[in-house]
Amino acid sequence: MRWPRIIFLSVLLLFLIAFFHYTLPQRDVVQITGTDVIRTDFSRWNRLFYAQSDSGTVDGTNRDLRQIFAQTADDRDIVYRNEDTGFGWPPYFKLNSADLQARATNLSRADGRDQWVVVTHYGWRSTFLTAFPNAVRITPIDNPDDLNPIPWLNIIILALLALALFFIWRMWVRFEDRVIDPAVDRVSVRWAKMRDWMAGRR
């Protein structure tokens, strides 16, 4: 029973790490280099990595997808998608993708300015699945070093989650001690008596 439990808990832990790494907000310090709108077809493989259609529109197998292009201080190119999350998951309640696209266009370096911004986003970039992180907020900053590197919101969320998991684990241990273990012991005793009876050792 020990190894199956360890394997199950390890798989569950990896799933939770991947889930929260995808869902929790991340921040990049970049310069916006441009914006675009492309027609995107969704497959059964990458549909999971896209949000719903913009609020007030009908969801379909393909639709226009807003994109924001950016570059980091070390010349790494990043492509963000810009979609409403609505009232679904993840719960960012983003309804202003059109306004965010306009803001990104205004902050683009195309007009000759050298503006640094903080892009708050969630999600992963996968070239294989054609998936992009979803930009949630764009905040102009004067200096790329102004960003606080400590993700306090993520720390608070994960701390609350760890606390909840600890209480659930304690409740399960008590339930196991009070209910499951005595039931297993009773079954073991009855099984031993039945074997003795079948062997003629009454």
Structural domain boundaries in the chain: 25-149, 155-198
**Strand pairing class (62-71; 26-41):** antiparallel
> In sequence order, what are the residues at sequence separation of 6 or more whose Cβ sits closer than 8 angstroms to the Cβ of residue 3?
none
Q: Which of 30, 24, 29, 21 is nearest to 148 (CA)?
A: 29
Count of CB atoms situated within 10 Å of the CB of 28: 17
pTM of the model: 0.76
Does the structure show a pLDDT above 90 at 191? no
* pLDDT above 90 as % of the chain: 41
Report whether CATH 2.40.50 matches the domain 25-149: yes
Task: Round the average pLDDT of the chain to a whole number and report it.
Answer: 85
Long-range contacts of 186-194 (CB under 8 A, 24+ apart): none
Summarize pLDDT for 171-185 with one digit per residue, the tens: 888 888 888 878 877
> In sequence order, what are the residues at sequence separation of 6 or more whose Cβ sits closer than 8 angstroms to the Cβ of residue 174?
none
Residues counted in the chain:
202
26 or 202, greater pLDDT: 26
pLDDT at 60: 59
52 or 73, greater pLDDT: 73
Summarize pLDDT for 81-113 with one digit per residue, the tens: 999 998 888 899 999 999 999 999 999 865 556
Angle, helices 2-23 vs 152-175, to 10°: value is 150
| Cross-strand bridge partners of residue 28 | 119
Average pLDDT over residues 139-166: 86
Q: Which of 157, 181, 125, 165 is nearest to 25 (CA)?
A: 157
